[in-house]
Amino acid sequence: MVTGVETNQIPDLTNPQTFAAGVPHEAFARLRETPGFHWQPTEIATANGGFWAVTRFADIVEIESNPALFASQPGGAWPSTNLSPDPAENPLYNNLMMMDPPRHSSVRRVAAAAFGPRIVKNFDPWVREIVVEVLERIEHLDEFDYILEVAQIIPSFVIARVQGVPAEDRQWIVDQTLASFEAMQTADVNAVGEVLHKTHVYYREKLVPEKLRNPQSDMTSVLIHAAERGEITEAEAYDFLNLLQAAGFETTHTLIGQSMRMILESPEIADKTFRGIEELGPDKVIEEFLRFITPAMFMSRTATQDTVVGDQQVRENDLLNLYFTAANRDPAVFANPDEFDPWRTETASLAFGSGPHRCIGNALAKLELRILFEEMAKRDFRFRLNGAPQRGWSTFINQIRSLPVARVS
Amino acid sequence: MARVIYVQPDGSSTTCAADGRSLMKVAVENLVPGIIGECGGDLSCATCHVFVDEAWFGKLKPRSDDEESLLDVTSEEPTETSRLSCQVTLTDDLDGIVVHVPSTQR
């Protein structure tokens, strides 16, 4: 194990305070330069009393490409980790993020068939409708909170539409999602189980019967038909609906909110954003926002046996937290990594992870931000900061809770 | 070693030599544009679609049902000779195989 003055000064990665003022990029830079991995002690949700902080791009790609050696079943993101392999004791047993091949492959394939590139391209018209509805609402506001009025609403309405949840239930399902997301941050499996149970009752008693009467091209219809054909179980279908909501909402709202904060706080980033969209089109600019922001800061894997990776000896059942937020500024991969540069030519970042668990909704997330940029540009909406932005309280998501803005055009 | 030729929509091409790996892996390792291989070869993302040159298509093993269903959602409409390149292993009898990369898979 590596010890030394430098690693002793690394802040506590289990304490949200460490992330309160921003992602500790300076500490992550020191970890990337230190051979091996940094051991972060914690009794919470670990088998061996802590986790390894993995910060280099190449090490994360290697770990994520080998699910036999680095498993997801014990938990995809600390502190939802050290979970039992017994479904009776593990409410997250049917969550796609907590599965390994071959079970993961079968569920993901069903989801991919409803979320593949050509399908998502067809989402453009109705995502645009939602964005326009949101922008028409803020058109009449001089001062407002961009997080509440824009960043939260767009992804929650988009995901509800993907699920096929009727408009009158939209807010309820968003509230349940937030509750389960909060519960997952506390390592309290019973609290997680309670929220999930409530949503299962809703799916079983209301949404599924409705979709069976009136099948549509939404995810719920696709999943229940796959369950009828025996390709996946009913529980896997329901928990995929929950995962969709949690993953699609929290990270996309972070991307939308943080990108606007960066534009408002830095004239240089604002200039590069507008020039980049003109010269390169929006996609490269969005990729750079994703790299820079990295909404989900890490994911976790558990070693299935003693092994050596990244020059580090790890033991069976050791937890590894893969810090995408650090890897996305790895100078071995990205030139001038701390600079916002949409013109960069390097490989895609790890904002969505890599390997079999790479974010299945990545095309949809990018589509939402692209349409938002396009529709704001059409209306020539410009804002200025109208108070101090407030970050969230999380070791997991690069959250922003409040972004007060005022319209300038 | 067997060779594979990836042809881009603008007619430019990349030739790579490898053994026993999938056409997707070979493309990704050689940074061939337009073959993404998002899921790493787990047959669950539909981002490694290629159009196999007709002369070569008949030499390949048939598609599985799972591959068929993912071809329904690739960025570009599939044709008779469409394959997911993660499902084609580069063996010696395929030396010189030509595949075309779709223009919208970026």
**How far is residue A116's CA from residue A22's CA, in Å, rounded to a whole number?**
34
Contact B69 A113 (CB under 8 A): yes
* SS3 at position A123: coil
| Dist CA A1 CA A390 (whole Å) | 37
Furthest CA-CA distance within chain A? 65
Nearest by Cα to A273 from A149, A130, A136, A383: A383
Q: Hey, are the CB atoms on B39 and A358 less than 8 Å from each other?
A: yes
Nearest residue of B to residue A114, measured between CA atoms: B73
Give the β-pairing of A312-314 and A390-391. Answer: unpaired
Say which DSSP state A80 is in: B
First vs last Cα of chain A: how many Å apart? Answer: 56
CB distance B5 to B23 below 8 Å: no
Distance CA A300, CA A78 (A): 6
Count structural domains, chain A: 1
Chain B 51-80, residues with CB within 8 Å of chain A CB atoms: 66, 69-70, 72-77
User: How many Cβ pairs closer than 8 A exist between chain A and B?
Assistant: 63
The nearest CA of chain B is from the CA of A282 a distance in Å of: 14
CA angle B86, A244, A131 (to 5 degrees): 105
B-chain residues within 8 Å CB-CB of A358? 38-40, 45
Neighbours of A55 (CB within 10 A): 28
Helix, strand, or coil (residue B89):
strand
| Nearest to A57, CA basis, from A390, A351, A316 | A351
Residues of A in contact with B25 (CB under 8 A): none
Closest CA to A50 of A59, A61, A58, A39: A39
Contact status of B13 with chain A (Cβ, < 8 Å): no
How far off is chain A from B19, nearest CA to CA, in Å? 20
Domain CATH number, residue A365: 1.10.630.10
Residue A119 in contact with partner chain B when CB distance is under 8 A: yes
A73 Ramachandran zone, left/alpha/beta (phi>0; psi -120 to 50): alpha
Q: pLDDT 10s digit of each residue in chain A, 409 long?
A: 444 445 558 999 999 999 999 999 999 999 999 999 999 999 999 999 999 999 999 999 999 999 999 999 999 999 999 999 999 999 999 999 999 999 998 898 888 877 888 888 889 999 999 999 999 999 999 999 999 999 999 998 899 999 999 989 988 887 887 788 788 777 788 888 888 889 889 999 999 999 999 988 889 998 999 999 999 999 999 989 888 888 888 899 999 999 999 999 999 999 999 999 999 999 999 999 999 999 999 999 999 999 999 999 999 999 999 999 999 999 999 999 999 999 998 877 999 999 899 998 998 999 999 999 999 999 989 999 999 999 999 999 999 999 999 999 8
Chain B contacts of A347, Cβ < 8 Å? 31
Of B40, B45, B105, the CB nearest to A112: B45
Task: Determine contact, residues B95/B23, Cβ cutoff 8 Å.
Answer: no
Could you tell me the residue range of the domain that residue A313 belongs to? 5-407
Residues 6+ apart with CB under 8 A from A286: A366, A369, A370, A373
CA of B74 vs chain A CAs: smallest distance (Å): 5
CA atoms within 13 A on the CB side of A376: 20
Contacts of B74 in chain A (CB under 8 A): 116-118
Domain B2-100 superfamily per CATH:
Beta-grasp domain (3.10.20.30)
CB of A118 less than 8 A from some CB of B: yes
Residue A222 burial (CB < 10 Å; 0-12/13-18/19+)? buried
Residues of A whose CB is below 8 A from B31: 347
Query: Hey, where are the domains in chain B?
Result: 2-100
Angstrom distance (rounded) from CA A260 to CA A242: 27
